[in-house]
Structure 1
């Protein structure tokens, strides 16, 4: 019972902190996300540890992880919403897959979308939420990908299947649709990302 009360207290405390760190613009958003993360870890680590069996400790750890992930997801969502509100020139679309996107170049005529097993060729660049470049398309090079058959971040797996050949789309991926907690090279832990993707070719696999 005490553990449940403390968990509710910690969650409410973090939600209050989140409400204080309102995003007036997209600048320094990553610093605010890091601030939330540090406080989440601090609160989780500094509260008294109850003397419970190992199974209970595991359960408590999982509960705290769920709370931490909810807070991070909420912060990232709010950051992207503020970014989109400040950029009214773009027609942002909310995806059912848990990210947002807009068309830089949209093909109006009816044509096939990639499906499982098709081979696609694409180029892309990666920016952070402050619109600072992380990887250029020249650094990343042209990619060949078998849809749903090869490893790719989940956001891009889903995003590719929304694109027609010749289209360029910019995707806003929360960290759980990108590299998550682990990060990757220049990409930080729990970092939301902006991908600009051009789909050059779809080779249908019948």
Structure 2
């Protein structure tokens, strides 16, 4: 009888061990309240920044500012009527720029930033400058007011620009080095049309 006891006990243990696994339950359940609060906070921040920018624009009697479709304000300070071409995505341009806070305190001068050559809409410049350059013609200087979300945002630049700092920028388009459309071969045009 003892010889049957061991196999029966083993069979019983195997059957008990073949239970379906139970999923682990989370220790705490998150609600969407954090995200909703963050969105509301960002809306309030943007509204306050826009009010401040609007008051600065109204106080400026020399320039006529317009609001861009991207959410910032700009005015062309130095107008060049000889060249009608404005950069488009993929063009390579050379620019200089300087940044100030909204109180007029310099953050980066043109000497500090230097001449920058970059591909329009493709480089690591902050979003406002990446799209704002497309509003200028070669030789023109534009004044831009960027809310913090279109500048360096929550992270800042980890140097001189802190968290959620709206910026005033003076940007000069020195040269359109390479017009993307001029570099297109018939094969590239055909590929672009297919996409």
- Give the structure-2-normalised TM-score: 0.75
1:188 aligns with 2:162: yes
Superposed displacement of residue 110, structure 1: 5.0
Distance apart, 1:109 and its partner CA: 3.9
Correspondence 1:153-172 to 2 at 5 A: 153-172=126-145
How does 1:91-170 map onto structure 2 within 5 Å?
91-170=64-143
Q: Which runs of at least 4 in structure 1 moved beyond 3 Å after TM superposition? A: none
Q: CA deviation at 1:187?
A: 0.5
Cα contact 2:75–2:142 (8 A) shared by 1 = yes
CA RMSD of aligned residues (A): 1.4
Task: Give, in whole Å, the separation in 1 of the partners of 2:62 and 2:179.
Answer: 34
Matched, 1:199 2:167: no
Report the CA distance between 1:89 and its aligned residue. 2.0
Aligned length: 153
1:37-90 deviation digits (Å, cap 9, x = unpaired): xxxxxxxxxxxxxxxx5231xx11100100100110010000001111111221
CA contact (8 A) 2:83 2:138 kept: no
- The structure number with the bigger radius of gyration is 2
Unmatched 5+ residue regions in structure 1? 1-52
SS for the counterpart of 1:55 is: coil
Separation in 1 of the partners of 2:86 and 2:51?
A: 30
User: What is the SS of the residue equivalent to 1:186?
Assistant: coil
